[in-house]
Amino acid sequence: MSELTQIDQITERVERLLVRHEELTRTNALLSQQITALTQERDSLKSRLSAARARVDALLERLPDLASGQTGNNPPQGNR
């Protein structure tokens, strides 16, 4: 009789382990999807940042050179 009880205990434990394995497999799949989505979002944001930097650099190139327009001892005006 004790052998049957031990088999029942092992069976119950294996069933719990299988349920836990299924839960972890589903969680892993969801986390993989989140990683994919966040990677795509990161890449999109990096691309937008690069485009914004290029626009800022283009605007800075269009500004007149402050050093060549400076006269006398007046320091250049600005936020720097």
The pLDDT averaged over each successive group of 10 residues in the chain (80 residues) is 85 98 98 98 98 96 73 55
**Domain boundaries defined on the chain:** 34-58
- Among 38, 80, 40, 31, which residue's Cα sits nearest to residue 60? 80
pTM, two decimal places:
0.62
The pLDDT, as a whole number, for residue 40 is 98
Compute the distance between CA of residue 33 and CA of residue 64 in angstroms, rounded to an integer. Answer: 49
